[in-house]
Amino acid sequence: MKLGFIGAGNMAQGIIKGLISTNKISSDKIIITASTPSRSQLLAKELGVTSASSNMELVAAVDIVILATKPYLLPEILRAINTPELATNKLFISIAASLTLDSLSAHLPLEQKIIRVMPNMNISIGHSVSAVCGNDYVSKHDIAQVINLFETVGSAYEVSEKDFSNFTSLAGCSPAYTYLYIDAMSRSGVKNGLPKKLATKIAAEAVLGSAKMVLESLDETPWDLIDKVCSPGGTTIAGLVALEEEAFMATVIKGLEATIQRDAELS
């Protein structure tokens, strides 16, 4: 199996590094194109893969094409490679945000196999959470193959396309909200005398441990875990009450709802 990446930005590089480091695919089976041929050659050398001189050359040489450019560039790219020579048995995977399967299909042959994947930025450290869905022409094997590929850089789940906006809010955008929460915690630490770097490390490790606890306690709700931390008349319950006085939970939900709405507008 040969894999081609049209676009070689941070997301694409994260996937490539994950595939190679886990021996999922050998580096000589990966071909990339970037914004210019010289850029393609430079990145290919850095990643230890092969570059193509054009998108047409790349598509002709691979079995799976991963579309990893900015969303606004994709329609023109797809129109350019949509020639009579394009084989419909090639699998196209798009990681472009907000572009639906229908919008991608409009620029490719009628029966082209297309799978849409939504990773998040934690892909660069091998901890992405990715959503996967396909059009009517992909098989269960195709979906399983793509999930297997993206599990090299985190976790991946088959999700109905109608739920992609919801997924985007929960996994695609939430890293930024989590960073904000960690930074707020660390600034509280600074306010009360800790160095910023140490406060940030402590806050991040506390959040990481709490996330692991949730994953290892799925027979309980996060609220059950909250109750276990809160001693009667203690410090934790005092902090929770203060947060809820400012509608902490409602504010988080409001932020996620705004993400869903904006993603729907862009789609």
189 annotated to bind ligand: no
Q: CA separation (Å) from 151 to 129, 176, 215, 224?
A: 9, 22, 17, 30
Which whole-number Å values give the CA distances from 79 to 61, 73, 74, 84, 116, in the listed order?
18, 11, 8, 12, 18
55 annotated ligand-binding residue: yes
What is the Cα 218 distance to its own chain's centre?
23
Question: Residue 6 annotated as binding?
Answer: yes
Known binding residue 10? Answer is yes
Burial of residue 221 (CB within 10 Å: 0-12, 13-18, 19+) is exposed
7 is in an annotated binding site: yes
DSSP helix, strand, coil percent of the chain (3-state; round to 5): 60, 15, 30
Annotated ligand binding at 239? The verdict is no
Radius of gyration in angstroms for the set of CA atoms belonging to the chain, rounded to a whole number = 22
**Residue 9 assigned ligand-binding role:** yes
Do the bridges between strand 128-134 and strand 113-118 make them parallel or antiparallel, or are there none, so unpaired? Answer: antiparallel
Q: For the beta carbon of residue 144, count every other beta carbon within 10 angstroms.
A: 12
* Token pair belonging to 33: 């194109």
β 50-51/64-67 pair status: unpaired
- Name the token pair of 107: 């620029």
Known binding-site residue numbers for NADPH: 55
Known binding-site residue numbers for NADP(+): 6-11, 68-71
Known binding-site residue numbers: 6-11, 55, 68-71
